[in-house]
Amino acid sequence: MIMNEILINAIELLQKQFPQNSKSSLQKWIKHGRIYYLGRVVKRANQPVSSSGELTLNKKEIQRFSFPVLFEDDDLIVVNKPAQLLSVASLDPDERSVHEYLKKEFKPQKIYPVHRLDREVCGPLIFAKTKRASDALKEAFFERCVKREYKAIVEGLLQPSEGTWESYLEEKANYKVHVTKDQGKHAVTHYTVLDQNKAASLIALTLDTGRKNQLRVHSQQSGHSIVGDVKYGSSFERGAKFALMAHKLDFKHPFTEQELTFEVEPPPFFKKLLHEFKLKF
């Protein structure tokens, strides 16, 4: 130990490092063994640590359903949703959802869905832990203050290399979304080609609107369906998964005004498709 080193309680150092979190949340992190100091778990809130030291937060993974929590404080929680898991419950009682698992984890606290990702789509997903946070975040989405970037592998050589897809979308009785001339909901998608060849193109997609199946329908409408998305025109059969992922989420915390950015790596099946089509992420 360095001479004249000033020692403080671990909880005090945590409060300095994570000022956006309440003391009760920080104490829970310690209780659940998520805080490390010099490579060892901090077991007590009053454990002495160096005032100039650094505590490490172990990214929480909820073991019962194996998806990581990217951020959590008293008002909201951001998770990395895996493909094939619903965002919220369906009418089928046998279907599992992220919302269901979070409600069980934080019971009796209420958890509020803020937005959704299709079952087949993985990536950052926000839930609110308070009603006021839910209202504020939904307002941020409505005002288009939340930036969402997706990555997709689409069929063929997409030209031009950037552009905007705009249409009206309407869901039919078969639960499939269709483009209409002037009925339904207005939908706007911006795309940029990142890499491509004759077989496929890797593109970045950003949303002005968040309509059901919007990216999938717009890709099909352009003549370049998302690889593996047979429902919307793909000629490549890829089982239950298709090459669309939520890659990046950027927004301002509704109360602390902290800029929050979450960027995730492509899952193994997406990396495999990149390799097969010789595309660079």
* Beta strands 244-252; 200-207: pairing state: unpaired
Longest dimension (CA), the chain: 75
Contacts 24+ apart (CB under 8 A), 222-230: 222/154, 222/158, 222/165, 223/156, 224/154, 224/155, 224/156, 224/158, 225/154, 225/155, 226/152, 226/153, 226/154, 226/155, 227/153, 227/154, 227/155, 227/200, 227/273, 227/277, 228/273, 229/120
Non-local CB neighbours of 229 within 8 Å, separated by 6+ positions: 120, 216, 219, 220, 242, 243, 244
Task: Calculate the CA dihedral of residues 210, 259, 153, 206 and round it to 10 degrees.
Answer: 40
d(CA 103, CA 91): 17
Q: Is 118 assigned a catalytic role? A: yes
Which one of 118, 135, 229, 250 is the catalytic residue? 118
**Distance, first Cα to last Cα, the chain:** 45
Q: Which two tokens stand for residue 101?
A: 């698992």
DSSP codes joined into one string, 180-219: ESSSSEEEEEEEEEEEE-SSEEEEEEEESS--TTHHHHHH
Q: Which two tokens stand for residue 38?
A: 């010099």
Sheet strand arrangement including 76-81: 61-62, 67-72, 76-81, 123-128, 112-113
Active site residues: 118
